[in-house]
Amino acid sequence: YGIKMEGLHNLPNLSYNCQFDFTPGFRFTNNHQVAKDAVLIAEEKVYITFVQSDSVGIGVWTKPGRGKLPFAWQVTMNWTKFSPAALEYFHESATPNDYFIGGLSGPGYMYPNNIPKDRFPVLMEEAKQLMTVLDEHVMEIMDNSAADGNVGNADLFEETVDAYYEAFPDVLGFINGYGPARTRDLRDSRPMISYDYYIDPKRPRDEVTADLNELITLNSKRPYFLAVHVRESNDVNSLVTVVENLEGPVEVVALDRFLKFAASNKTYETRFRKEDDPVHFKGF
C-alpha cells in the first residue's frame, strides 16, 4: 500500500519523543570520506565494509570500541519527525569512523518489491529530501517480504532496481539485503551491492572469522567487495579481533569509499531476483 512503518518493537516512546525538536541552529554533518565526484581505483585486494542497520543499531552505539573501525549506521530517516533528539544525539556523539546512511528502503521502513508503482516516485522524492537534510549519500534497501529474519530471499526484482536508479540519480550507490543476497548492479558510477555475510551476535567470533575467510577464498577474483551486515548486540571490539585474523590482502573501508572502489572495477555479476527463485516465506 505504500505505507511507511517503524520496524522495531523495542523503540523508546515515539509519541513522547516526537514532541522534542532539534536544538535551534543544529545541522546534520556526516563524516564523508570521499567527495561525491571523486574517482577511486580499486587494487587487487579484498575490500570489506561493515553496516549496522535498524536505526543506528539496537544498543550497539554505546558499547565499547565504536570508532576503532569504519562503520556505516543506517538511519530510519523519518526519525527527523518522530525522534529528532535521538538523531541529534547520534550525530553529535559520532566518531570520524561513524558514517550515516539512509533507509530503510525509503522515507520509512518499507519493502520495495511491494510498493505500488504509482506510490514509489512520491515516496522516494520524500526520501531524497530527507537524505539532503541528513547529509546522506547512500541508500540502504531491504525487502524481507519473501524472507524470514536473516534467512530466505532478500533480492530485488529488476523493475525495483530500475526504479531506485531512476529515483536517486545523485547517490553514491545502494546497499541491499539483510542476510546474504545476490542483487548486484552498476550503472554509471553507482553500484548496488548486496550483503555477502550476516553477523549473528550469538555466533562465536572464531567462527565468524572462519566464515569470512571462506568467502575470501571462494571469491578469488580480485578485487572482491565484501559487504557485511552487523546486527543487534554485536560490538565493534569483537570485530577488531575478527579483522586482525582475516587472510589478506584485506582492507576495511568506509562505505562511501567501498562504493567508489566497487564502481571502478566490476568484478561482480549483475543479478536480480527472478520470479521462479526459491523463497523462504510465501506470505499470508
The yes-or-no verdict on residue 56 having pLDDT over 80 is: no
94: cell is 559520532
What pLDDT band is residue 284 in, cutting at 50, 70 and 90? Answer: very low
Could you give all domains of the chain from N- to C-terminal order, each with its CATH number?
38-264 (3.20.20.490)
What confidence score (pLDDT) does residue 14 get? 83
The yes-or-no verdict on residue 55 having pLDDT over 70 is: no
Segment 189-217 mean pLDDT: 97
> CA 151 to CA 178: how far, in whole Å?
8
In tens, the pLDDT along 159-179 reads: 999 999 999 999 999 999 999
Q: Which residue has the higher pLDDT, 236 or 152?
A: 236
Residue 109 half-sphere exposure toward CB, CA atoms < 13 A: 12
The yes-or-no verdict on residue 209 having pLDDT over 90 is: yes
What confidence score (pLDDT) does residue 63 get? 86
Residue matched to cell numbers 552505539 = 61
- DSSP per residue, the chain: ----B---SS---HHHHTT--PPTT-------SS-TT------SSEEEEEEE-TTT-SS-TTSTTTTSS-EEEEEETTHHHH-HHHHHHHHHT--TTEEEEEESBSSSB--GGGS-TTTHHHHHHHHHHHHHHHT--EEEE---TEEETTEEE---BHHHHHHHHHH-TTSSEEEE-SS----BEEETTEEEEE-SEEE-TTS-HHHHHHHHHHHHHH--SSSEEEEEEE-TT--HHHHHHHHHTS-SSEEE--HHHHHHHHHH---S--B-B-TTS--S----
pTM: 0.95
Residue type, 94: A
Could you tell me which of 99, 86, 104, 83 has the C-alpha nearest to residue 34? 99
Q: Are 247 and 216 a contacting pair, CB within 8 Å?
A: yes
Q: Are 216 and 12 a contacting pair, CB within 8 Å?
A: no
